[in-house]
């Protein structure tokens, strides 16, 4: 499934074998998740970005959250790594998407130790130097604290105080994120507008229309993603590498491209996406002619 390349890099660095799980509109294919987890004790964990997930903007449904909380792992030390990185990253505050609290659901299911929930202010205030948090069962937190005391003498209390004063409550965080949305939403709207105008109805591509997060997931015709990214580079536009959204950078169908319109100016986004649509059409024609 397309997902977050940093997660895959962590598990790859530790020599963990990764398995692809198809991603549906409301979250992972839970029939397959349950099969792997319940039947194979070698399956030790799963990465999840449950809200506005990278790169498609996927939001897990209540049913998916409950099925995660009720997993019956064959491995006693199986854990869900629940990265709620985009919890307040709404693009449209009139359509704020919400998810169930998996900690509550895991408690109800008698599975309090099955999940680690974590997030940070990295995409809210200062990337890489803000504050982060982790929530889990009492037993899990005691275990983590036992390891962390050897990893650091102490946390950055000045940074913590800065955040606590600037964000005294949830409303202050949301007010700040509305400023983010005012910058981000026009860029996402521009991408959607141009993709629809230039590629809509042609049957050569599809893409996500996220309500939050930082990315758009774009699918070319099978076997075209690497060609499109290479052609874009030749045209002077750098994109995330094809396959970056899959473990080991191996997209089995060579289709997925992650579009990240957040950094560029609105004018640059419009220009880049117009070039992108031309390149996608060219790559698609070459693919069709070769068949």
38-49 pLDDT per residue, tens: 999 999 999 999
Residues 201 and 97 in one domain: no
Q: SS3 for 82?
A: strand
Identify the band that residue 1 occupies on the pLDDT scale cut at 50, 70 and 90.
low
How far lies 284's CA from each of 54, 196, 202, 216, in Å? 25, 16, 10, 20
This model's pTM is above 0.85: yes
How confident is the model at residue 201, as a pLDDT? 95
Domain, as residue range, for 246: 172-290
How confident is the model at residue 152, as a pLDDT? 85
CATH classification of the domain holding 12 = 3.40.640.10
Closest CA to 227 of 282, 274, 275, 273: 282
Residues 105 and 143 in one domain: yes
Q: Give the domain-ending residue among 138, 169, 200.
A: 169
Mean pLDDT over all residues of the chain? 95
CATH classification of the domain holding 229 = 3.90.1150.10
240-262 pLDDT per residue, tens: 999 999 999 999 999 999 999 99
Q: Give the domain-ending residue among 126, 142, 169.
A: 169
Residues 6+ away with beta carbon under 8 Å from 66: 100, 105, 109
């Amino acid at each position: 499934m397309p997902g977050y390349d940093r997660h895959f890099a962590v598990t790859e660095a530790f020599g963990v074998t990764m398995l692809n799980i198809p991603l549906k509109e409301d979250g992972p294919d839970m029939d397959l998740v349950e099969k792997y987890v319940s039947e194979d004790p070698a399956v030790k964990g799963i990465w999840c970005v449950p809200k506005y997930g990278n790169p498609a903007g996927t939001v897990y449904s209540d049913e998916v959250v409950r099925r995660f909380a009720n997993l019956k792992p064959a491995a006693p030390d199986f854990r869900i790594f629940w990265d709620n990185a985009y919890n307040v990253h709404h693009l449209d505050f009139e359509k704020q998407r919400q998810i169930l609290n998996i900690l509550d659901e895991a408690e109800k299911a008698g599975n309090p130790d099955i999940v680690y929930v974590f997030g940070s202010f990295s995409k809210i205030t200062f990337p890489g130097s803000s504050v982060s948090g982790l929530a889990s069962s009492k037993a899990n937190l005691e275990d983590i604290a036992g390891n962390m005391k050897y990893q650091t003498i102490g946390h950055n209390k000045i940074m913590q105080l800065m955040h606590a004063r600037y964000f005294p409550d949830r409303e202050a965080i949301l007010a700040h994120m509305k400023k983010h949305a005012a910058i981000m939403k026009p860029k996402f709207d521009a991408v959607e507008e141009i993709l629809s105008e230039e590629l809509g109805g042609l049957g050569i591509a599809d893409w996500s229309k996220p309500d939050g997060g930082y990315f758009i997931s774009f699918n070319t015709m099978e076997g075209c993603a690497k060609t499109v990214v290479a052609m874009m580079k030749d045209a002077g536009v750098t994109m995330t590498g094809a396959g970056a959204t899959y473990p080991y950078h191996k997209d089995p169908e060579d289709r997925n491209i992650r579009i990240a319109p957040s950094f560029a100016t609105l004018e640059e986004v419009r220009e880049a996406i117009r070039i992108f649509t031309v390149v996608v059409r060219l790559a698609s024609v070459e693919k069709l002619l070769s068949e």
